[in-house]
Amino acid sequence: MRSKPNIFYVLLSLGVTLSALAGPSLVFARAAGTAKGDAQSMQESLERISRRPDTEISLLPVLFLASGEGVRKLTGRTMDAGFVEKEIDRIAWRVSASLVGAREPRRAIAAINQALFGDEGFVYDSAAGEANNYLLDRVIAQKRGNCLGLTFIYLALGERLGIPLQGAYVPTHCFARYEENGVRINIETGEKGAERDDRWYAWKFKVGEGRPYLQALGKREMIGVYLKSLGAALSRRGMEEDALRVYRRAALFSPGLPDVYYNAGVSYQKLGKNDDAVAQYRKALALDPDLEIARGNLGATLCSWGKVEEGIQEFLKAIEINPENIKARAGLAKAYFSQGAYRESIAHFDRAMAQGCNFDPSMLEVLARYRAAGDLSSRHGSGPPGPSPGRVFE
């Protein structure tokens, strides 16, 4: 009978040390991932893990803990951690068979790509809102995942094989990265592991210089990305309090990720907790001043809170970042309208209408009357009241 290839020999041939594969942190993380308990015990486990150095975190068990809650909340079932472990081990052995004696990182990446996307037949599905695309047991069972699901499968394989892989994030997208000894290889899991440089991501996802993205992210930070996405899934189901608990955990693991605070702001805004929403949006903008969607939401929240002048300033900043931001422009039209500043309102109203935005009929009537009268320089408060300028921008 043919024996399995010696995976430790493979790791040594790649020049990788084995210290990260052993130690008490692995035992602790496994216990945390499989323990049964309430949400409080889960949070305590995640908090303890989040305080450990990245070198002492075992990726898969923590993911079982994090995605296990998402599975229970979203689908009412438990996570099949044993199945995930078994399948990751099986695929890792397949990869290791082709790597004996190899040292070149691109060969290791090619071997993972062949095993994952060729032999196993994993495919990319861009549907971010489909939980089965990133809950790991479903990703493996269906051999289908979005960028989050496939990237975490990729990172788990890298950890099993001792290949120094990290993650990277841009707004709405993540991918894997090899970076060591001056060699950087971005691995686009949405394109069967194709190599893409940073300029491609900056162009495709409109990431300007100085924004806090495209940086190599360790295990803790990528776990934060994962938890952020789980929280968003809960929010889409209207489970805002549950989402906020997950966002707080995400902030423990990845405190520098603007999206964590933006998402939390949306949940607070939906709950009508304007002061908390404003605080979270401001945290997001402190990390990324060019996060236009957070600017727009901050403007909407301030307006609904009665702080219309402050809201107008945020809307103006949002459309300065992106003049085609229809939601911010519509919010600006409504904010000016609520103040009786019809000339200013009409300027943004027309742009928003041209982009397909719909407005309250009473607002249309008032602006049509003042437009017909040619009285666009007036700032009157008379006429039917307009709609509230504050709204949640999804």
Q: Which two tokens stand for residue 31?
A: 């216990």
Mean pLDDT of 141-154: 96
Buried b (16+ CB within 10 A) or exposed e, 231-259: bbbbbeeebbebbbbbbbbbbbbbeebbb
Give the angle subtended at the CA of 145 by the CAs of 139 and 165, to the nearest 5°: 90
Mean pLDDT of 6-18: 37
pLDDT over 50 at 74, yes or no: yes
Distances (CA, A) of 290 to 87, 232, 322: 41, 21, 9
Choose from 151-155, 181-185, 248-252 the range with maximum mean pLDDT.
151-155
Grade residue 7 by pLDDT with cuts at 50, 70 and 90. Answer: very low
pLDDT of residue 346: 92
Mean pLDDT of 321-348: 92
**DSSP label at 183?**
E
Distances (CA, A) of 391 to 58, 195, 361: 42, 40, 17
Task: Provide CB contacts within 8 A for 259, sequence distance 6+.
Answer: 171, 228, 284
Nearest to 333 by CA among 289, 355, 321: 355
Alpha helices in the chain (DSSP H): 7-13, 24-34, 39-50, 59-75, 81-97, 105-113, 136-142, 147-161, 198-204, 219-236, 240-253, 258-270, 274-287, 292-304, 308-321, 326-338, 342-354, 361-373
Mind listing the pLDDT tens digit for each residue in 163-193?
Answer: 999 999 999 999 999 998 889 999 999 999 9
Mind listing the pLDDT tens digit for each residue in 27-36?
Answer: 334 444 444 4
3-state secondary structure of 325: coil
Weakest-pLDDT range from 9-13, 49-53, 133-137, 324-328: 9-13
pLDDT over 50 at 102, yes or no: yes
- Taking the CA atoms of 293, 295, 296 and 297 in sequence, report the sign of the dihedral they define: positive
pLDDT of residue 35: 42
- Taking the CA atoms of 122, 127, 130 and 135 in sequence, report the sign of the dihedral they define: positive
pTM above 0.85, yes or no: no
Mind listing the pLDDT tens digit for each residue in 188-229?
Answer: 999 999 999 999 999 999 998 899 999 999 999 999 999 999
% residues pLDDT > 90 (the chain): 60
Q: Which two tokens stand for residue 387?
A: 């709609």
Distances (CA, A) of 156 to 70, 74, 138, 160, 368: 19, 23, 15, 6, 60
pLDDT over 80 at 143, yes or no: yes
pLDDT over 60 at 23, yes or no: no
Q: Which two tokens stand for residue 234?
A: 């809960």
pLDDT over 70 at 3, yes or no: no
pLDDT of residue 11: 40
State how far Cα 177 lies from the chain centre.
Answer: 17
* Structural domains of the chain in order of their starting residue, each with its CATH number: 7-220 (no CATH), 284-394 (1.25.40.10)
Are the CB atoms for 67 and 100 separated by under 8 Å?
A: no
